[in-house]
Each structure stands twice: as C-alpha cells, then as structure tokens.
C-alpha cells in the first residue's frame, strides 16, 4: 500500500491468514430450541415486564409487508410484516392489532388462512426474501381462535418459510414450503405435508441441501393438483448466488404425496432463479409463472439516466486516457477539463488539477495510478441495476402446469433488475384470466395474457418494492397490496391506491440518533425508506419528515444548532444536510491515489467527534477523518480488514468506527470480517484487539465508556454464518483483555450495547429478539419485554437531557423508554433484593 509507511501495525500474524471462518458452525436445532425456551423463561420471570415504553412511530413511512390473508368476511384480514410480526384488522383496515408478539420470532415468511374454518391461521416464521435484512425464524405456528392463542407446530430448523397452503375443505391437510437456512446448507428445507393438523409432518419433496421451496399453489377446483417451485440460492456475507439447476417447477396430481418436475417449455438451466406463480380462478387450468432469469441477455443494458441538466462534455477525459498519457501531456492538461474528470469520477476532495500536477511533478503519483484509480471496483449501487441479464419473464400454462410457454413480449427487465431474489410474486385477476399483475420495483399489469405490461402504481403514490397482493374472489376491482412502504388498498383494480398507514408502526430501522432541540427530534435510517426525523413527543400516527431517500443508513447530528445532519444511503453515499436552508453536499471521501478503492459497508459507519463536532469520521476499509465538516478528508488508517473474501457483495469493510468520549485521538474500529483495532494517537499507529475475542465474526457495535478510560464494550455476531450465539464483551484495559458478559443471556445474535450515562453499572443490550438490561455491569440480565416485543433491535441512543433511551427496532419502528423507572428500580430496595 502506497503512502502509508507512517502506520505501524502492532500484532504479528494479521497480515496473512490460511483460512477464514472455517470453524464457525451454524447453530443446531437443539441449541436453537434451548435458546427459544430460555427466552421464554426470562420473559416469564422478568421484573421489567410492566415497565413502560412509548412507540413514537413512524407509520407514515411504514415497513415491508410480505403476506396478506383475508377471511370470508373481507372486513377481517391479517397482515404479515417482514420483521414486525402479524397484525389483524376486523374493521377493513381502520385499525390493526399485533397478534403474534412474544412467539419464537417476529420475522415472517408466509401465512395461510383456512377457507373452511377462518379461525385457523398458520404462520411460518423466517422471511423468505433472502435480503440483507432477512431474519431467521423459529418454526411454524398455528392458531385455532383467530390469532388469540398460538401453538408451535414444529419445523423449528426450517429457518425461512417460503409458502403455506391449507386444503380448501380439510383444514387438517397443510403443505409447507421450507427455504431452509440462508447462510448455510441444511437438510431441513423442502416441502412438508401434514394430514393431522400439524401433529406430524412428512417431507414429500426434497431436492438438495441448498435448494428450498419458495412457492406452492393449489388448483382452484381440484386440490389433488398442486404446483411448487424450488429455488436454489446461497447467501454469504461477501457473495450471493440466487439461481441454479435446483430451481424448477414441480407438479403433483395426488395431493402432494409425489412430485414430477414440469419441464416442457420452461427453462431448465443453471440461470433459473426465483419462481412464483398463480392460478386463474375464472379459468382454473390457466396458470402463470414469474421467473427471475439470470441468464445473459442479448439486449443491451438500459441507458443510465443523466442527472438534472447534466451536459455531455466534449471529448471528456477518461481513465483510459491516462493509460498511455505521458507526464508532459498530463502536466499540460487544461485545469478545467482535469477538474471535471476528478469530480465526475469522485476522486478524493484533496485532489484538484493543481494538486494532481504537483504530485505528478514530485513523483508522488503516476499517470498509471490515476488510470487505475477505481481499480476495477464495482459500484455496489450501480451493480443492482442495468445489468445485461434476461431478468423478469412471464410464462403461461393452459394445462394446469404440465407445459409452459413464454408469453411476455415487452421488456420487463427493470421490474427488479438483478435482484429478483427480493420479489417473485405474480397474481391473476379473479374474474379475467388475461389480467395479471407482476410485483417488483414498479407494479405492472397486463391485460392481454402477459404479452404487454404497463405500470399501475401511479395514482395514490404507493411505495415501490411490491411484495404481496390479494385480489377479492368476488370483486376483482378490490385489491390489497403490501410493499416496503406498508399496506395499500384499491377499489378500482389498481388504478388508484389508498395508503392504510396510520395503525401499523412496522418501520425497519438501521440506525437511530437524537438532537438537543426542545422537544428533541429523533432521526433514523430505514430499510428501503430513506432517512426521516420526527418529534420525540410524537404518537405513532404523527408525521415524520424526510431527509433523503434510498436505504436510509447512519445519522449524525451537530447538536450545536440541531440543523446540520450527516446521513446517507447504502454503501457510503453520505451527505451533509442543512435542514433550515435545504442545502446538501455529498461528503463521501474518495480514496488516496495509490490506495485500493474504497469498499463501503451496506451500513457505512459515520459519526461526529465528542470533542469537536466539526470533526467527522467515516469508514470504508480505511478510517477517514475530516476536520472541516466533511469538506476534506484525511486517511488515518491502512486497510484494517482481512480482505480475503470477494464476490458480488461488498465485504471486508469497516462496520464500526467509534471515538472515545473521554480521550480525543482514541478511536476504535471493527470490521465485518472480524478485526478489532484501536489507535490512541489519532491514527498514528493501530493495535489489534482480536486476542480473546471470537474470531471472524461481524463486529456489530463498540461502545467506549463515558465513565472510565480504557473501559469499552463490544458486540459481535455470527448471523451471516447462521450462527446465533451471544457475543458481548467488556474490557477495562483498552481491549488488551476481554471478559464475556453473556451471563444468563439466551443465544441470540447481538447488535448493540450501550452504557447508561448516569449509572455506570447499567447496560442496555439489543439483540435479534429484543432488549435486555443489566444493573450490575453485565453479571445478570433482565429481559425488557412487554410494551416492547421480541423484535430485532438494530440501534439505540440515549437523550441525556431528558433521560430517555431511544430504540431503533428493525420491524416495529421507534420506542422511547424513560430511564427514571429503571434508575429507581435499580436502587437497593425490596424489588432489587428480590431480583438478586
């Protein structure tokens, strides 16, 4: 690495590794069961169950809805949130009640409501979309009283449920499609059938330990005829393969006891991805399939859009230009033209034409290094769009799935570009077999049997990223639509949409922050819903205001005036925003010439200094520091990652950068590939803190103490290996040695730990299944579950003036907890002594 000779790496053996994470094993079914039972035990015994927590929304920007089940009385229906549980309405969407809280997991893959007995509802936990924010489940559940009570019916190690279907006349016959684990291979995937209401299960279709079942459909008239789609997919932290020869359509004519692959007219190659299908109720032998075809397309990729009034520069400089350019030619370049090239290609802000020429003259850089500035790196955001693949295709069968014909003639690649793994739903009008809807980034409709498509999600401004749809069997103009923005309803066949957004706070927060206004504001970045902020006094239905779009990520607020906000979207696209004036400036640092290009984490770390809020930190594989609010940047670390894995997902990135609140220049950094570092001289040298910690796990949080120099807390998780162990540690000596604080905690992936700002022995821990509180520095933990359900907690912050704990959940929006109740409870007294 060039220009980094002033860095000293302390700890031999961190430069090369013979293997990466080879010893990490997925959590076993037995261990998963023990964790679920331990969580239940802590819930039944916790003294914090009746403590108060206030949900402040938002609901105007909602969260991902993955399934909709409607009763015969259409005023009653059920909504499954991707990571926020199950909700029920009995008044046609005027109000909703959560009915699945406190079960094994709040991530939902599929539901099924018995047509013959609407009191019977099945819920399969573990979302099936296979995205970065997909949470593993804890089996299949059944209610026989409309969601009032639940019984766990098995398939605990299925991880992610693709689909559930109930026999139309016999509610004891149920088919369940298991996708299996997301980040590892397992044999619990496949298609299961029960004939005794879930008391026992038989696996009736199994392809292999890397291929699961994503969809099942029952013939509208003959329930002995079923279709199922298998999907081969394998995700890793650094790579995702969403297609393979295991992906196919399967057909049964004996009620799902035996299956044959449907091959006539349907692709059978290794590029077959996710498949969804639907029968036409009005012509039962007609069925459509939506295929994510990852095969290369012979059509060119769509032209990229120009921003605003961007003009095409005449004979612009390109990276190719510098490959053969001499030093003299480079020094003679027009400064304006060179500056345009630097800004267009997002070089570090330290480089302008004059600086480039100065460094060329002094030999610090070469034209060859300029030519290789991007180093072949892929823009992670651009990689999701515009790739030359076949993408979405629609097939039609007129013999109940025996044979198929490609019918889509219009180019619908932009339905979901390269990430069809996130969608895959198709619905047929209940009154017209030629009217079909395909769900993706836009919602498309065809009224000529799938040949041509047009958008039908313009009026009413529904969110994009459409995930689920129900069409009324008795009135095909009546449609319910679920997407990443919540629930929508149409009474006009999809021409106009109403947003039913006031009752379900199911936003999926990646980050949370507060300011010092009165009342203070809460800021947060949300999955596919941008960055928003709202007053801390809000009720859930009160409106939050947007700051920017994309997948909202980390927020930092300059509390000197509460107007300057630093935030951004996925993969490090960050901005400085002035809320008062509306001014925004992109601040993402470019890498130094001669260094490898930046690798940005999906949730790029960024924070302001405790000691001077003009100082900003960001992390790629390097730690960047700005002394002037992000206008210019200095690289203050070498590559701190192992950098051993590469694929189509950015990896070997910094996941955490945290500055000590007590000592300026003391900075901790953690990576997604398991490295932990400290510098105590503002980047002059970095020391590894890996010793004594589990190796190769994702570093999810680092929290330096506000009370004691050298004290620091850390959480790690193995979620991206399907390992759900609890990893939470404390150090009293700047990370030289570590002590586990797991104590009586169940095994749940750990996301965030923070320290109480008034009472140093009180700690707050957020896991994939809720909030835990310790009043004795981690020796014992109590579950804070009651008004806060067992939802994944991604981030927490404390508003010190108001003494509030603000919790960003990934599925149930934001909660505020008044810490006075915990402080009062933690003082010695009868309740405290009883707890001890």
| DSSP 8-state symbol, 136 | P
Q: In what order do the strands lie in the sheet with 108-113?
A: 108-113, 121-125, 140-143, 151-152
- The pLDDT value recorded for residue 457 is 85
Residue 61: inside a domain: no
pLDDT surpasses 90 at 376: no
Residue 331: inside a domain: yes
pLDDT surpasses 50 at 593: yes
Give the pLDDT band of residue 654 (cuts 50, 70, 90). very high
**Better-scored residue on pLDDT, 388 or 582:** 582
pLDDT surpasses 90 at 423: yes
Angstrom distance (rounded) from CA 17 to CA 12? 11
Chain centroid, CA 806 distance in Å = 20
- The pLDDT value recorded for residue 719 is 96
Provide the total of helices (H) and of strands (E) in the chain, helices listed first.
8, 59
- Give percent above pLDDT 90 in the chain: 88
Task: Count structural domains, the chain.
Answer: 2
Angstrom distance (rounded) from CA 59 to CA 452? 35
- The pLDDT value recorded for residue 185 is 95
Count Cα atoms within 13 angstroms, Cβ side, for 413. 21
CB-based burial of residue 283 (10 Å sphere; 0-12 exposed, 13-18 middle, 19+ buried)?
middle
| CA dist list (Å): 741 to 185, 240, 441, 706, 746 | 30, 33, 43, 18, 12
- Per-residue burial over 72-101, b if 16 or more Cβ lie within 10 Å, else e, is eeeebbbbbbbbbbbbbbeeebeebebbbb
- The pLDDT value recorded for residue 313 is 62
Helix axes 335-344, 353-362, angle to 10 degrees: 100
Rounded-to-10 torsion of CA 521, 525, 528, 534: 0
φ and ψ of 521, to 5 deg: -100, 150
Please name the residue that has the structure tokens 């979620």. 719
Residues with Cβ within 8 Å of residue 44, at least 6 apart in sequence: none
Low-confidence winner among 244-258, 312-326, 797-811 (lowest mean pLDDT)? 312-326
Residue 326: inside a domain: yes
Most confident of 19-23, 275-279, 501-505: 275-279
- The pLDDT value recorded for residue 10 is 45
* Closest listed residue to residue 114, CA positions, set 164, 148, 80: 164
Judged by phi (left if over 0) then psi (alpha if -120 to 50, else beta), residue 376 lies in: left
CB-based burial of residue 764 (10 Å sphere; 0-12 exposed, 13-18 middle, 19+ buried)?
buried
Q: Within a 10 A sphere around the Cβ of 621, how many other Cβ atoms?
A: 28
pLDDT surpasses 80 at 379: no
Q: Please state the rounded mean pLDDT for residues 2-29.
A: 56
- The pLDDT value recorded for residue 461 is 84
Q: Where are the alpha helices (DSSP H) in 215-258?
A: none
Range of the domain at 375: 319-382
Among the candidates 344, 361, 382, a domain finishes at: 382
Same domain, 815 and 666: yes
Angstrom distance (rounded) from CA 207 to CA 227? 15
Between CA 828 and CA 833, with CA 831 as vertex, the angle to 5 degrees is: 55
Give the pLDDT band of residue 568 (cuts 50, 70, 90). very high
Length of the chain: 836
- Pair 801, 517: CB distance under 8 Å: no
Between CA 754 and CA 709, with CA 677 as vertex, the angle to 5 degrees is: 50
Residues with Cβ within 8 Å of residue 668, at least 6 apart in sequence: 656, 657, 658, 659, 660, 676, 677, 678, 689, 702, 704, 712, 735
Give the pLDDT band of residue 11 (cuts 50, 70, 90). very low
φ and ψ of 557, to 5 deg: -120, 130
Angstrom distance (rounded) from CA 576 to CA 565? 6
| DSSP secondary structure of 50-66 | T---EE----SS---EE
39 three-state secondary structure: helix
157 three-state secondary structure: helix
- The pLDDT value recorded for residue 384 is 56
The enclosing H or E element of 687 equals strand 686-688
Per-residue pLDDT reduced to its tens digit, 89-111: 999 999 999 999 999 999 999 99
Residue 81: inside a domain: no
CATH code of the domain covering residue 707: 2.130.10.10
- The pLDDT value recorded for residue 1 is 35
Residue 487: inside a domain: no
- Pair 534, 521: CB distance under 8 Å: yes
pLDDT surpasses 90 at 715: yes
Angstrom distance (rounded) from CA 483 to CA 455? 15
Residue 685: inside a domain: yes
569: its two tokens: 């979207």
Q: Please state the rounded mean pLDDT for residues 829-836.
A: 38
Low-confidence winner among 5-19, 108-122, 431-445, 467-481 (lowest mean pLDDT)? 5-19
The enclosing H or E element of 835 equals helix 830-835
317: its two tokens: 């400089």
- The pLDDT value recorded for residue 386 is 53
- The pLDDT value recorded for residue 300 is 67
Residues with Cβ within 8 Å of residue 386, at least 6 apart in sequence: 301, 302, 304, 417
Angstrom distance (rounded) from CA 400 to CA 279? 8
- The pLDDT value recorded for residue 416 is 85
Residues with Cβ within 8 Å of residue 309, at least 6 apart in sequence: none
Per-residue pLDDT reduced to its tens digit, 569-583: 999 999 999 999 999
18: its two tokens: 């013979």
Per-residue pLDDT reduced to its tens digit, 313-336: 677 899 999 999 999 999 999 999
- The pLDDT value recorded for residue 409 is 92
Residue 438: inside a domain: no
Residue 258: inside a domain: no
- The pLDDT value recorded for residue 383 is 59
Per-residue pLDDT reduced to its tens digit, 741-773: 999 999 999 999 999 999 999 999 999 999 999
The enclosing H or E element of 124 equals strand 121-125
Beta bridge partners of 229: 215, 249
**Better-scored residue on pLDDT, 1 or 81:** 81
Q: Please state the rounded mean pLDDT for residues 359-375.
A: 93
Question: What's the 3-state SS for 618-655?
Answer: EECCCEEEECCCCCCCEECCCCCCCCCCCCCCCCCCEE
CB-based burial of residue 487 (10 Å sphere; 0-12 exposed, 13-18 middle, 19+ buried)?
buried
- Pair 557, 520: CB distance under 8 Å: no
Give the pLDDT band of residue 377 (cuts 50, 70, 90). low
Q: Please state the rounded mean pLDDT for residues 416-433.
A: 93
Angstrom distance (rounded) from CA 192 to CA 144? 20
Chain centroid, CA 232 distance in Å = 20
Q: Within a 10 A sphere around the Cβ of 824, how many other Cβ atoms?
A: 11
φ and ψ of 361, to 5 deg: -65, -35
- Pair 462, 471: CB distance under 8 Å: no
Model pTM score: 0.94
Taking all residues of the chain, what is their mean pLDDT, rounded to a whole number? 93
Q: Please state the rounded mean pLDDT for residues 791-813.
A: 98
Same domain, 707 and 562: yes
Q: Where are the alpha helices (DSSP H) in 3-139?
A: 29-45
Per-residue pLDDT reduced to its tens digit, 260-318: 999 999 999 999 999 999 999 999 999 999 999 999 888 766 554 444 444 456 778 99
- Pair 803, 822: CB distance under 8 Å: no
Q: Please state the rounded mean pLDDT for residues 656-661.
A: 98
pLDDT surpasses 50 at 836: no
- Pair 590, 607: CB distance under 8 Å: no
φ and ψ of 833, to 5 deg: -65, -40
- Give percent above pLDDT 70 in the chain: 93
- The pLDDT value recorded for residue 310 is 43
- The pLDDT value recorded for residue 596 is 94
- Pair 123, 80: CB distance under 8 Å: yes
Among the candidates 382, 407, 423, a domain finishes at: 382
Count Cα atoms within 13 angstroms, Cβ side, for 382. 8
Q: In what order do the strands lie in the sheet with 486-490?
A: 466-471, 479-483, 486-490, 498-499
Give the pLDDT band of residue 417 (cuts 50, 70, 90). confident
Q: In what order do the strands lie in the sheet with 770-774?
A: 750-755, 763-767, 770-774, 782-784
Q: Within a 10 A sphere around the Cβ of 382, how many other Cβ atoms?
A: 11
Among the candidates 335, 361, 382, a domain finishes at: 382
- The pLDDT value recorded for residue 219 is 98
Q: Please state the rounded mean pLDDT for residues 206-221.
A: 98
- The pLDDT value recorded for residue 2 is 36
Same domain, 515 and 377: no
């Amino acid at each position: 690495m060039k220009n980094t000779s002033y860095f000293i790496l302390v700890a031999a053996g961190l430069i090369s590794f013979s293997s990466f994470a080879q010893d990490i094993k997925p959590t076993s079914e037995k261990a998963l069961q023990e964790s679920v039972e331990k969580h239940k035990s802590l819930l039944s015994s916790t003294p914090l169950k009746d403590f108060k927590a206030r949900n402040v929304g938002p609901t105007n920007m909602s969260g991902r809805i993955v399934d909709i089940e409607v009763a015969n009385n259409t005023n009653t229906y059920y909504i499954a949130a991707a990571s926020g549980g199950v909700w029920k309405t009995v008044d046609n969407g005027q109000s909703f009640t959560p009915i699945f809280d406190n079960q094994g997991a709040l991530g939902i893959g599929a539901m099924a409501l018995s047509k013959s007995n609407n009191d019977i509802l099945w819920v399969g936990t573990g979302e099936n979309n296979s995205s970065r924010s997909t949470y593993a489940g804890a089996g299949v559940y059944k209610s026989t009283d409309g969601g009032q009570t639940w019984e766990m019916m098995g398939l605990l190690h299925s991880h992610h449920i693709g689909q559930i279907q109930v026999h139309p006349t016999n509610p004891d016959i149920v088919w369940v499609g298991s996708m299996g684990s997301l980040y590892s291979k397992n044999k619990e995937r496949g298609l299961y059938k029960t004939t005794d209401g879930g008391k026992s299960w038989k696996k009736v279709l199994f392809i292999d330990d890397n291929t699961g079942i994503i969809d099942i459909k029952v013939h509208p008239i003959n329930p002995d005829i079923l279709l199922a789609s298998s999907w081969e997919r394998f995700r890793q932290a650094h790579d995702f393969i969403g297609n393979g020869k295991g992906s196919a359509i399967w057909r049964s004519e004996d009620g799902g006891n035996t299956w044959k692959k449907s091959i006539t007219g349907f692709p059978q190659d290794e590029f077959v991805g996710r498949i969804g299908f639907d029968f036409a109720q009005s012509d039962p032998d007609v069925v459509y399939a939506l295929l994510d075809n990852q095969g290369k397309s012979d059509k060119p990729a769509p032209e990229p859009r120009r921003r605003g009034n961007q003009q095409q520069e005449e004979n612009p400089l390109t990276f190719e230009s510098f490959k053969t350019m001499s030093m003299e030619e480079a020094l003679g370049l027009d400064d304006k033209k060179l500056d345009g090239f630097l800004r267009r290609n997002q070089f570090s802000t330290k480089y302008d034409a004059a600086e480039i020429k100065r460094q060329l003259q002094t030999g610090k850089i070469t034209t060859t290094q300029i030519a290789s500035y991007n180093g072949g790196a892929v823009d992670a955001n651009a990689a999701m769009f515009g790739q030359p693949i076949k993408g979405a295709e629609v097939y039609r069968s007129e013999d109940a799935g025996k044979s198929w014909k490609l019918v889509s003639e219009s180019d619908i690649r932009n339905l979901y570009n390269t990430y069809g793994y996130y969608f895959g739903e198709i619905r047929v009008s209940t009154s017209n077999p030629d009217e079909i809807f395909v769900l993706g980034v836009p919602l498309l409709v065809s009224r000529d049997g799938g040949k041509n498509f047009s958008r039908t999600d313009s009026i009413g401004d529904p969110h994009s990223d459409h995930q689920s749809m129900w069409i009324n069997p008795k009135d095909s103009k009546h449609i319910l639509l679920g997407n990443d923005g919540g629930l929508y309803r149409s009474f006009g066949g999809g021409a106009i949409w109403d947003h039913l957004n006031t009752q379900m706070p199911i936003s999926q927060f990646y980050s949370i922050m507060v300011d010092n206004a009165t009342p203070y504001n809460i800021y947060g970045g949300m999955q596919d819903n941008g960055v928003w902020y709202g007053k801390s006094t809000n009720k859930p239905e009160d409106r939050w205001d947007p700051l920017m779009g994309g997948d909202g990520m980390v927020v930092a607020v300059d509390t000197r005036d509460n107007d300057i906000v630093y935030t951004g979207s996925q993969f490090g696209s960050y901005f400085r925003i002035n809320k008062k004036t509306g001014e925004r400036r992109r601040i993402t640092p470019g890498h130094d010439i001669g260094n490898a290009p930046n690798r940005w984490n999906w949730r790029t770390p960024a924070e302001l200094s405790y000691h001077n809020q003009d100082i900003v930190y960001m992390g790629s594989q390097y730690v960047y520091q700005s002394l002037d609010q992000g206008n210019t940047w200095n690289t203050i670390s070498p590559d701190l990652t192992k950098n051993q894995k590469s694929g189509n997902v950015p990896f070997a990135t910094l996941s955490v950068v945290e500055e000590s609140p007590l000592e300026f220049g003391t900075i901790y950094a953690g990576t997604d590939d398991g490295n932990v570092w400290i510098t105590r001289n503002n980047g002059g040298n970095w020391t590894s803190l890996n010793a004594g910690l589990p190796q190769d796990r994702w570093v999810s949080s680092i929290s330096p103490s506000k009370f004691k120099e050298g004290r620091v807390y850390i959480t790690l998780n193995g979620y991206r290996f399907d390992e759900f162990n609890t990893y939470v540690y404390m150090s009293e000596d700047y990370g030289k040695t570590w002590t586990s604080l797991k104590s009586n905690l169940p095994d749940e992936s750990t996301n965030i730990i923070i320290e109480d700002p008034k009472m140093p022995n009180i700690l707050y821990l957020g896991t994939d299944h809720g909030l835990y509180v310790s009043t004795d520095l981690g020796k014992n933990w109590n579950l804070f579950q009651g008004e806060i359900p067992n939802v994944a907690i991604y981030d927490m912050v404390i508003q010190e003036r108001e003494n509030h704990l603000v919790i960003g959940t990934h599925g149930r929006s934001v909660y505020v907890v008044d810490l006075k109740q915990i402080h009062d409870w933690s003082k010695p007294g009868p309740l405290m002594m009883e707890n001890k």
